[in-house]
Amino acid sequence: MPATEQIRSKISQIPHKPGIYLMKDRFGTVIYVGKARDLRKRVHQYFHPSRRHGWDLKLNALVEAVHDLDVHVVRTEPEAVLLEGKLIKEFHPRYNVSFRDDKHFLLLKVNLRDQIPRFALTRLKQDDGAQYFGPFASSGALRRTVALIRQKFNLRGCRPLLPNDRDYKHCLYANLKYCTAPCIGNVSRDDYLLQIQAACDFLSGQSQEMETELETAMKKASANLEFERAAELRDMLSDLKKTTQKTNKFVRIPYKLPVALNPDEDLIELVRVLGLPNPPYRIEGFDISNISGTFAVASMVSFRNGRPDRANYRRFRIKSVTGQDDFACMAETIRRRYTRLLKDSTQGIKSSKEKSSSQPAEREEKLELTPDAANDRNGGGADETNALPAANAAFPNLILIDGGKGQLNAACAELEKLGLGHLSAIGLAKEFEEIYQPGEREPLRLSHESGALKLLQRVRDESHRFANTYSAQLRLRRISESVLDEFPGIGERRKGALLRKFGSVQRLRMATVEQIAEVPGFGGKIAAELRAFIEARSIGES
């Protein structure tokens, strides 16, 4: 069935319900993720004949590239918004613009281990023992609802961890009687925790009573011709429903990395266009990821027979390079990767020789391989005359560098130093999809319909994804470890002084009040508060 007829057949089966739709190209790659209040109407608009004569070039290119589509039905439109953002961050579709950054939807957190707990907005969920609500699709509705909750349950909205008498004198919430002022002992901590727990139950969905009160007040104001007050109550009711509406927790949708329609043909085409001695049955791709020289990491992905070989993926934290220098980072990665392979191969040769001396019959049996198996096992293009099969088994037939001539030259220089200059290596630059080869002045440009180019793109894109994932994990780990950011009144200078003194948050946890007070910028009082703060955070983590 042609792609157009297949899509039309699917559209006729899509329900008139809210949800998200994923458009895919002929290789199964997700190229666009969208949401809709009515899935069938929204998806049908893309393929309506009148759209083909429009002036939106991006839309026309998207429609022409669509080969298949999937839909996922949800209960409400806010759920569709949340799922759309999650999937865009996961797949990074080519035609999406929004939600591609690392900004997450708002969450609401409260830590019941604090001396005087308070609700706070955050975008990252950490393993800190706090209670989290959300995420919420509408940040404005959430902020207005939080203000309403603070007023209803008499909760504090001030920032200090432990408010004191001085804070109380200037506290607007206490003066307006929004807060029961537990900081000065107006209520006990146990009574205040009951207020907090009631607010948590409210956020968990037990809000029918307040909804009824707001609806009754809205109707009463409207009957008294107080239309501005009625409109205000209507908006409050709408915000409350949006915030307390239950949403599903979405699990990862099981999409796999797309594979070629015919990998064997793509490998044969690579031999022809690159002048390789044998089909590159094993390809290793490298990429560098860093943000202004920080969290510099590298990735190596392995493809076997044109398909991902995830068991042999590797990732590296750059150690010897300071600042943003992709060439030096690539050189370090290549050096570390193939120095390790050479070491493993040498150990393999020694163990093979020792084993062959004691069990010659077994050695002869293992070396009886078919030509194809021997080629795959030995790397396909390496010289076998001076080495046993174990020596070359781990080396690739082709090395793909994500970048242009500079990155490729840095990689080839390291391979030459290691005595591996015979390994085939190329660079693939993103802007024009140009292929750089060692010793060639001009890059090679293949047709965008070429199966060989698409195979190289899959290797490059997978190495890019793997590197970015590792970099994001390190950034998130750094953020989650920086518990000091939650301590009120501490700036970058004080935080830096603490980390210089103790080296890490883990060591700071073991420090005494006297040791903290020795840090420049800290006195006995703030040191005691920080010590109490860290102890409160450590209870749930131990």
Task: List the CATH number of the domain containing 510.
Answer: 1.10.150.20
Question: CATH number of the domain that 55 lies in?
Answer: 3.40.1440.10
- Cβ within 8 Å of residue 267, ≥6 positions away: 279, 280, 281, 305, 306, 455
Please compute the mean of the pLDDT values over residues 200-221 and round it to a whole number: 77
The domain boundary, picked from 244, 274, 304, lies at 244
- Going 319 to 322 to 323 to 329, the CA torsion angle's sign is negative
251 within some domain: no
179 and 269 together in one domain = no
Phi first, then psi: what are they for 71, rounded to 5°?
Answer: -130, 155
Answer with the one of 478, 498, 521 that is the final residue of a domain.
Answer: 478
Q: What would the 3-class secondary structure string for 240-305 be? A: HHHHHCCCCCCCCCCCCCCCCCCHHHHHHHHHHHHCCCCCCCEEEEEEEEEECCEEEEEEEEEEEC
Same domain flag for 10 and 110? no
pLDDT value of position 287: 92
> Does one domain contain both 200 and 179?
yes
Q: Which residues pair with 286 in a beta bridge?
A: 300, 401
User: Is residue 100 one of the residues assigned to a domain?
Assistant: no
Report pLDDT for 131.
82
Q: Are residues 127 and 219 in the same domain?
A: yes
Residues 7 and 57 in one domain: yes
Q: With respect to residue 97, please indicate whether it lies within any of the assigned structural domains.
A: no
Q: Which residue has the higher pLDDT, 15 or 116?
A: 15
Would residue 416 count as lying in a domain?
Answer: yes
Whether residue 378 has pLDDT greater than 80: no
Per-residue confidence (pLDDT) for residue 447, from 0 to 100: 85
Residue 110 included in any domain = yes
Q: What percent of the chain has pLDDT over 90?
A: 13
Q: How far, in Å, CA of 303 to CA of 312, rounded? A: 9
Find the helix or strand (DSSP H, E) in which 32 lies.
Answer: strand 30-36
Read off the CATH number of the domain in which 395 is found. Answer: 3.30.420.340
More confident residue, 177 or 321: 321
First to last CA, the chain: 59
Asked if residue 412 and residue 308 are part of one domain, the reply reads: yes
Asked if residues 78 and 37 have their Cβ atoms less than 8 Å apart, the reply is no
What average pLDDT does the chain have? 76
Rounded CA-CA distance 420/407 in Å is: 17
Q: Tell me, yes or no, whether 227 lies in a domain.
A: yes
Q: Which of 101-115, 315-329, 457-471, 514-528 has the lowest mean pLDDT?
A: 101-115
* Number of domains the chain is built from: 4
Write out pLDDT tens, residues 192-208.
788 888 888 777 766 67
Residue 243: CB atoms within 10 A of its CB come to 25
In a domain, 52, yes or no: yes
Same domain for 535 and 467: no
In a domain, 257, yes or no: no
Burial class (CB in 10 A: 0-12, 13-18, 19+), 18: buried
Residues 325 and 469 occupy one common structural domain: yes
Tell the residue number behind the tokens 């308070």, with chain if given.
Answer: 118
Specify whether 119 is located in the same domain as 64.
no
Token pair recorded at residue 487: 């301590």
Q: Are residues 214 and 275 in the same domain?
A: no
Residue 206 makes CB contacts below 8 A (sequence gap 6+) with none
Are both 466 and 399 inside the same structural domain? yes
Q: Which pTM value belongs to this model?
A: 0.48
Question: What residues make up the domain containing 215?
Answer: 106-244
Quote the tokens at residue 140: 């404005």
Instruction: State whether 67 and 21 are in the same domain.
Output: yes
Sign of CA dihedral 41, 47, 52, 55: positive
The span from the CA of 486 to the CA of 482, in Å, is 8
Tell me the pLDDT tens digit for each residue of 454-508: 889 889 988 988 888 888 777 666 654 556 666 776 777 777 777 777 766 777 7
